[in-house]
Amino acid sequence: MQAEIISIGTELLLGHIVNTNAAFLSQKLAEIGIDVYYQTTVGDNPQRLIESIKRSVRRSDIIITSGGLGPTVDDVTIEAIAALLNRRLVLNKTVLKGVKAYFKLRKVKFPIETMRQAYIPEGVKWIRNNVGTAPGLLVEYMGKTIVCLPGPPREIESMFVKDVIPYLKKLGKSDWVIRSRTIKTTGLAESQVDGRVRDLLKLKPPTTVGIYAKLRHVELKIMTKAKNEKAAAKAISGIEKKIRGRLKGYIFGYNEETLEETVAKMLIKKRLTIAVAESCTGGLLSHRLTNISGASKYFLMGIVAYSNEIKEKLLFVPEKLLNRHGAVSGPVALEMAKGIRSLGCTDIGIGITGIAGPTGGTKKKPVGLVYLALVTDNKQIVKELRFTGSREEIKFQASQVALDLIRKNV
Amino acid sequence: MQAEIISIGTELLLGHIVNTNAAFLSQKLAEIGIDVYYQTTVGDNPQRLIESIKRSVRRSDIIITSGGLGPTVDDVTIEAIAALLNRRLVLNKTVLKGVKAYFKLRKVKFPIETMRQAYIPEGVKWIRNNVGTAPGLLVEYMGKTIVCLPGPPREIESMFVKDVIPYLKKLGKSDWVIRSRTIKTTGLAESQVDGRVRDLLKLKPPTTVGIYAKLRHVELKIMTKAKNEKAAAKAISGIEKKIRGRLKGYIFGYNEETLEETVAKMLIKKRLTIAVAESCTGGLLSHRLTNISGASKYFLMGIVAYSNEIKEKLLFVPEKLLNRHGAVSGPVALEMAKGIRSLGCTDIGIGITGIAGPTGGTKKKPVGLVYLALVTDNKQIVKELRFTGSREEIKFQASQVALDLIRKNV
């Protein structure tokens, strides 16, 4: 079974946005064992769109389009499908009701132009959009399946997982299972991870391992193609065991898991509470710690103390210490951690101070210098770190190391 | 002049990586006035690659391929081009010398498989790669131009800017300049913006307007193709003036500018300081306000008060008020704003309280309900808002409206 993806939107052809939908759809199709042979991007041009769909129908079994379903005149996918099928567009009252409800919920007057999104080619199945207003289409045409989805990633992701995957599975258009497992690490550079698993990176299909580096985060992805779930699981777990042995201590999660999720789970399980005093990260660590549902179980408070005054007044950092060592120093980070811990009456206190840049660095204290402290009942840890990158990258890396410090010490 | 882009690599079809090269190439081509009509992605499969190149040659003047030039057997672009041209591959000694020098510089033993990258179809021009080992190709074929570039973004970016753009310009395949300007708004839904500029969205080339919606953020992009810079600037400013007239008050920035940048600039210019008390946004507003270099000029402090106790103890929210109205209420948001303002001794105080979900909602106070307060010397504003989406989306939207509230009230 072969699929292809058509991404629709002049903004893609102009390079204004990066096509993340094609990667998402390809990945999801691979997971249910459907091969993608082509990804095509066309503009908001009915003629070239119809021509592309026709070509795809000739060479593939499943065609997934994304984009062009919005309420504006630029959006031409529905018209293209109607022209292809030679069907007229009819008002679908259920869709219209849904679109109206969408605006009512948001207390926004129903924009009359949105009416356009309730017109569907006659007799064609549609897919409910729970996140936006544009419905999707499920078209059976010349023995092939055409699925039309909207462009916004959160809409496409929700609809594809909820409705399209079950539909394709039911069609039986999937003979193989492709399964993957991502192992996420932090604390080692890409080359260090590479060095430890070099032999595995050279594996040939059906089971392969890929390495992907992000900021203070390196992932290994095991991928396998097998006849059934059991065989796939066996192939993956064999490799996974090897990787775990070689990267022990650096692995913080699997698949979609984030570092903050792992930390949150640990804190909840051990019934520990945390409070955070941030300077250079400016609230990012609190933000990440509160991105997890149920954060109030462990996260009690955060203070972003940008000025020395606040560090003294609220976090009880002694003025003398600030004068002697400067705000960006190990002793100040430690006092911040102690101060916030006693203020919040929590088990763990975190203090972060540093220079996020791009300005404010000196020869002795350059941009990227960060001090990180963790204080618990029986531990006091202070770390000096040096990061490079933009202001936001430095903030992110500092928050990443802080989360990892929590992970390793609770 | 029309161009198209062929991205080569099975990892793209598997969705393992997002295709940023296509966006980069499209953007660069647009800047020199070359239209891109198609982007296609194919795997490391010689037959489908040759077929795609042939189709592209039929319908476009310039074909840019990326990927498939590496040293492994998976890399088939050179062979495909040789087959298309019906030429044999010959060892290019200059390329070989460059590849060897690359490894010597890095103190790595020359890997014999890299030898493969020094073979070029006979008589074809090649492009030096200063960042990696794979050379590019410049092929003139049936009156069309085929440019083959490697896959790694930093290699493609360096080679395209250094060699390909000058080559295309010299070919005279670019007589035009394309210029664009993005106008960013918040506070109106996409359909509402659409309704106000519908006529402009229908404009035909050389000057067009596109609409792009993000979370609580709608952009209009004016794009023009003109003979020279002056004509382009004139065309854009004419349309921009119209848009400004119709969306006055909702526009917060242009091009790369972010809402937090605009707010930061205003605060710095007016020498105003701000302090932020957050509950449901969990530090995100502080994070965004401190993403700007020089944030310490205006941002003095933030408190993330997740518990009622902290709201009482640090922000002086009366216990009675919390009991009577609940933590998620207008009066509490207002007291939080007042409390943080007096604590930080700032000109502006912001209070945010709400339910970010996905749990914790009730019928009366559903997930997505957020109260926002702004307090200055002479203003006290409280807003009730209802958002939908994931926890992170609700947090983002609340921070977005908060920033816009600051923008409108300082």
User: What are A389-400's pLDDT values in tens digits?
Assistant: 899 999 999 999
Cα distances from A119 to residues A126, A334, B64, in angstroms, run: 10, 62, 38
Q: What residue type is assigned to position B138 of the chain?
A: L
Mean pLDDT, rounded, for B152-161: 92
Dihedral sign for Cα atoms in the order A168, A173, A179, A184: negative
Q: What is the pLDDT of residue B1?
A: 81
How close, in Å, is residue B274 to chain A by CA atoms? Answer: 11
What amino acid occupies position A360?
G
Q: How far apart are CA B16 and CA A23, in angstroms?
A: 7
- Is B286's CB within 8 Å of A286's CB? yes
State the Cα–Cα distance between residues A406 and A399, nearest whole angstrom: 11
CB contact under 8 A, B300 and A287: no
pLDDT at A198: 86
Q: How many angstroms separate the CA atoms of A175 and B140, rounded? A: 43
pLDDT digits (tens, 9 = 90+) for A299-342: 999 999 999 999 999 999 999 999 999 999 999 999 999 999 99
Per-residue pLDDT tens for B239-291?
999 999 999 999 999 998 999 999 999 999 999 999 999 999 999 999 999 99
Contact yes or no for B39 and A40 at CB 8 A: yes
Would you call A41 and B40 a contact, using CB atoms and an 8 Å cutoff? Answer: yes
For A406, B272, B281, B327, B369, the CA distances from A289, given in Å and listed in that order, are 11, 30, 11, 20, 21
**Residue B173 in this model has a pLDDT that exceeds 70:** no
User: Does A175 have pLDDT greater than 80?
Assistant: no
Question: What whole-number distance in Å separates Cα of residue A301 and Cα of residue B118?
Answer: 60
Nearest of A303, A281, A262 to residue A352 by alpha carbon: A281
Cβ pair A48:B39 closer than 8 A: no
Check residue A302 and give its pLDDT: 98
Query: Are residues B290 and A282, on separate chains, in Cβ contact within 8 Å?
Result: yes
Candidates A301, A316, A395, partner chain B, best to mutate (most B CBs within 10 A): A301
Look over chain A and give the mean of its residue pLDDT values, rounded to a whole number.
Answer: 93
Given an 8 Å threshold on Cβ–Cβ distance, is B282 in contact with A303?
no
Separation in Å, CA B388 to CA B172, B227, B282: 51, 46, 17
Taking all residues of chain B, what is their mean pLDDT, rounded to a whole number? 93
pLDDT digits (tens, 9 = 90+) for A231-259: 999 999 999 999 999 999 999 999 989 99
Rounded CA-CA distance B382/B371 in Å is 7
- CB atoms < 10 A from the CB of A224, how many? 23
Considering CB atoms only, which of B15, B213, B283 is closest to A302? B283
Report pTM.
Answer: 0.77
Q: What average pLDDT does the segment A138-157 reach?
A: 94
Beta bridge partners of A267: none
Is the CB of A37 less than 8 angstroms away from the CB of B23?
Answer: no
Query: How long a stretch of residues is chain A?
Result: 410
pLDDT at B298 over 60: yes
| Whether A14 and B198 lie within 8 Å, measured CB to CB | no
Query: Which residues does chain A have within 8 Å of residue B36's beta carbon, measured at their own beta carbons?
Result: 13-15
CA distance A289 to chain B (A): 8
Tell me the chain A residues in contact with residue B19 when contact means C-beta distances shorter than 8 Å: 18-19, 22-23, 39
Q: Which two tokens stand for residue A4?
A: 């292809």
pLDDT band at B132 (very low <50, low <70, confident <90, very high): confident
How far does A121 lie from chain B, in Å, by closest CA? Answer: 22
Report the percentage of chain B scoring pLDDT > 90: 78
Do A395 and B201 count as a contact with CB atoms less than 8 A apart? no
Q: How far apart are CA B53 and CA A224, in angstroms?
A: 30
Handedness of CA B22, B23, B28, B29 (dihedral sign): positive
| A74·B210 Cβ contact <8 A | yes
Binary contact (A18, B16; C-beta < 8 A): no
Confidence bin at B125 (pLDDT 50/70/90): very high
Average pLDDT over residues B12-21: 91
Q: How far apart are CA A225 and CA A230, in angstroms?
A: 11
- Residues from chain A contacting residue B38 (CB–CB below 8 Å): 13, 40-42, 48, 52
Backbone CA torsion sign across B252, B254, B260, B261: negative
- Give the pLDDT score at B174: 57
Calculate the CA dihedral of residues A182, A188, A190, A191 and round it to 10 degrees. Answer: -130
Give me the residue from B7, B191, B213 closest to A113, CB to CB: B191
Reduced to 3 states (helix: H, G, I; strand: E, B; else coil), residue B279 is coil
CB pairs under 8 A between A and B: 269
Can you list the alpha helix ranges (DSSP code H) found in B147-294?
A: 153-159, 165-170, 190-201, 229-247, 259-269, 284-289
B8 and B80 Cβ atoms separated by less than 8 Å: no
Nearest to A19 among B19, B28, B304 (CB): B19
What is the sign, positive or negative, of the torsion defined by CA atoms of B33, B38, B43, B48?
A: negative
- Residues found in chain B: 410
How far apart (Å, rounded) are the C-alpha atoms in residues B159 and B185? 36
**Chain B partners within 8 Å of A36 (Cβ):** 13-15
**Residues 6+ positions from B279 with CB-CB distance below 8 Å:** B304, B305, B306, B311, B327, B328, B336, B352, B353, B354
| Range A168-182 average pLDDT | 78
Judged against a pLDDT cut of 90, whether residue B111 lies above it is answered with no
Please list every residue in chain A whose beta carbon sits closer than 8 Å to the beta carbon of residue B211. Answer: 72, 74
CA nearest neighbour of A24 among B44, B21, B8, B12: B12
CA pair distance A186, B275, nearest whole angstrom: 33
**Contact by Cβ (8 Å): B50, B186:** no
The pair of structure tokens assigned to B102 is 């690359």
Other CB atoms closer than 10 Å to residue A161's CB: what's the count? 12
- Chain A nearest C-alpha distance from B290 (Å): 6
Is B291 close to A395, i.e. CB distance below 8 A? yes
* Chain A residues whose beta carbon lies within 8 Å of the beta carbon of residue B301: 303-307, 310, 314
Q: A18-27, A357-366, B204-213: which range is least confident on average? A: B204-213
- Is the Cβ pair A48, B37 closer than 8 Å? yes
CB-CB neighbors (< 8 A) of A19 in chain B: 18-19, 22-23, 39
Pick the residue from chain B with its C-alpha nearest to A48: B37
The torsion defined by the Cα of A200, A203, A206 and A211, in degrees rounded to 10, comes to 60
pLDDT average, residue stretch B180-190: 94
The answer to whether residues B63 and B144 touch, using CB atoms and an 8 Å cutoff, is: yes
C-alpha pair distances (Å), A54 with each of A83, A85, B305: 11, 11, 57
Quote the CA–CA distance of B45 and A40 in Å, as a whole number.
16
- Residue pair A69/B66 in contact (Cβ under 8 Å)? The answer is no
Three-state DSSP class for residue B111: coil
Task: For residue B104, name the pLDDT band (cuts at 50, 70, 90).
Answer: confident
E-state strands within A260-341 = 274-278, 299-305
Give the span between the Cα atoms of B9 and B40, in whole angstroms.
11
Alpha-carbon distance values, B95 to A45, B74, B81, B124 (Å): 42, 20, 18, 13
Q: Do B282 and A284 touch (CB under 8 A)?
A: no
What three-state secondary structure class fits A351?
strand
Residues of chain A with Cβ-Cβ distance to B289 below 8 Å are: 282-283
How close B329 comes to chain A (CA, Å)?
A: 18
Cβ neighbours around B362 below 10 Å, total: 11
Domains of chain A plus CATH, in order, are 2-170 (3.40.980.10), 177-254 (3.30.70.2860), 259-409 (3.90.950.20)
**Are the beta carbons of A304 and A325 closer than 8 angstroms?**
no
Question: SS in 3 state form for B327-394?
Answer: CCCHHHHHHHHHHHHHHHCCCEEEEEEECCCCCCCCCCCCCCEEEEEEECCCCEEEEEEECCCCHHHH
For residue B108, count CB atoms less than 10 angstroms from its CB and return exposed for 0-12, middle for 13-18, buried for 19 or more.
Answer: exposed
Write out the two tokens for B291: 């993403």
Backbone φ/ψ region at A179: left (φ over 0), alpha (ψ -120 to 50), beta:
beta
AA letter at A81 = I
Rounded to a whole number of angstroms, the distance from the CA of B21 to the nearest CA of chain A is 9
Banded pLDDT at A173 (limits 50, 70, 90): low
